[in-house]
Amino acid sequence: MRVLRESADPEVMASVLCESGWSAQQLALLPTTRVTQPDMAYSLGVAPITYENYERRRREPSVPLLLTFGKLCNVRDMLVLDDLWREVKGRRYPRTSDLVGLNVPSELRDLIIDDACEADAEVEAGLISALRAAALRAIHHRLDSDAAVDPNPETARVPVVSLAAAFDQEAPSGGEFLTRVLEAVDVEMQSAVRAWVAWELRRLGHPEAARDLPGADRTARRP
């Protein structure tokens, strides 16, 4: 489906649809540029997606996507959105920028944005849990002289009291947790705590979050 992001050529679309399992009879019913009849969805074997059966679509990603919502969508837009939905099921949630230039009904646009926000919240909750576990690990290494050296090279620069203060707080919503982590420690220790958190974020596979830390050098690269 990726080629459809760059091309609206009918032959390209037909080729991709054929590779996706569409029959010659189904392709023959498909207009060049626009689905002109809502009930054509059934002729094509494509399940129409409305607000009511949106959850069913999320549970059954194999169902091809046709948008109705009382409006008609360009065929290319429909296929690109179907591609996005498959990525949603693969946990790569679409960004709002993915919708630029697409003829997307406003109801669906709102749902996609809601999904993206929900996914961000899930990722943030996972990061908070992982960072708290890492802080406990680092504190253990600092307090136990018999423990092995902590894998985070920045741990040696951060006092135990600073790590405890940074992560001993409620997790707010809306992406503010990492900001509060830095604000919870003394100003003179914020640089060390920032470096410690950035190292852990990169270890957890979130280099973008490390670069976006308040006060971080966004040009810094992973060592």
The residue ranges of every structural domain in the chain are 2-104, 121-211
pLDDT in tens, 171-210: 655 557 777 788 888 888 989 999 999 999 999 988 888 8
Question: What does pTM read for this prediction?
Answer: 0.51
Which has more pLDDT, 137 or 220? 137
- Average pLDDT of the residues of the chain: 64
Pairwise CA distance, residues 130 & 143, whole Å: 20
How high is the pLDDT of residue 41? 39
Separation CA 4–CA 14 (nearest Å): 10
- The secondary structure element, H or E, covering residue 65 is strand 65-67
Whether residue 103 contacts residue 130, with contact meaning beta carbons closer than 8 Å, is answered with no
Instruction: Give the model's confidence band at 46: pLDDT under 50 very low, under 70 low, under 90 confident, else very high.
Output: very low
Per-residue pLDDT band at 7 (split at 50, 70, 90) = very low
Tell me, what's the pLDDT at 187?
Answer: 86
Q: What is the pLDDT of residue 85?
A: 53
Is the sign of the CA dihedral 57, 68, 34, 22 positive or negative? positive
Residue 216 confidence (pLDDT) above 60:
yes
The count of other CB atoms within 10 Å of the CB of residue 112 is 20
